[in-house]
Amino acid sequence: MVNAIEWKDGIVFMLDQSKLPIKVTYIKCTDYRMVAEGIRKLWIRGAPAIGIAAAMGIALGAQDIKTARFEEFIKAIEPICNKLLATRPTAVNIRWAVERIKQLLHAKKNEPVERLKQVLIEEAKTILAEDIEINKAIGRWGAEFIRDGDTVLTHCNAGSLATGGYGTATAPMLVARDQGKNIQVIADETRPVLQGARLTAWELMQAGIDVTLITDSTAGVLMQRKEIDLVIVGTDRTAKNGDVANKIGTYPLAVLCKEHKIPFYVAAPLSSIDFSISSGKQIPIEERGPEEVTHVFNRYRIAPEGVKVRNIAFDVTPHKYVTAIITEKGAFRPSDIKHLMRKKANIEALRLRPHTRGKKAKT
């Protein structure tokens, strides 16, 4: 398991994923502004991971607040939260982490400010530890849908680099491997920042998973040739109706799966499901700078100077293309996602079981 982020001795250590796989470098973030810069510049990326980073950034910034009064302390926390919230608008996990931290502070407002500073550090570490356990649970539920001999296609990076550890979309692959299933993984390169080529392929090779890298435009022909058995991707935000926002290129994959009758699964921790919005139309979609498209590694130009660029970072896959959303509570049809937060929800009855897939044909 690769550690994307860690709190140690009052410093946030962040793996600079923009340099992978050429160089493995950890950046020491000594204040919340550096954490925010790391999120914005993709030193760290992936919805769960940047949620963890946000919690650590708030804890880091809180240490420098000079007051003994709670009212002044919580007021000083606000611009720190706003700075972090402004970094990546599509992923809901930053907002989730910020709201969790604020609720915790208000619940403990009668405690001394110096104690609250320590509480924030402890909470950030707890969020990290919880995320790892959530990912393992996603892996256990998701592995039920992977048969011995399957070839799984994934897009972008939703592995340990994108989370606290173990990954979301990659977790079922790791569990399936540990169960003794013989599986292969196909990784899309994921233009323009090549997270699939630089991160997923590297990470799965480190884990001993049989992985093959393809260009994004190759997925269709492999499905046509019946060389793909299922697709598992991650998500940056899922709406209450099951619409899924993920890295650009996910929506075309889902459409291809529908055409070729291939299951399309989304690995989504409950923290990435935004129950406050009814559909994906309400998800803000980030557009990033042109240099990610015109250059590789922000250094080597591959396009004519001055060419106009549209660099839409995410797309929304309508729920009708999603076979199931795999969470730490189980796998569910998109139409059942809205029921998960109800106190009296019968989660066991709502779970989608793996018998809906036929047996892997022997070749």
Of 302, 276, 282, give the one whose Cα is nearest residue 291.
302
> Checking DSSP bridges between strand 11-15 and strand 184-188, what pairing results, if any?
unpaired
Rg (CA), the chain: 20
Q: Residue 214 pairs with which residues in a beta bridge? A: 188
Helix (H/G/I), strand (E/B), else coil: 326: strand
Pair of tokens at residue 144:
């039920």
Q: Is 236 a catalytic residue?
A: yes
Report the C-alpha gap between 242 and 279 in whole angstroms: 7
* Strands 230-233 vs 264-267: parallel, antiparallel or unpaired: parallel
State both tokens at 75: 């007021």
CA distance 238 to 314: 12
**Which entry of 131, 188, 216, 236 is annotated as an active-site residue?**
236
Catalytic center residues: 236
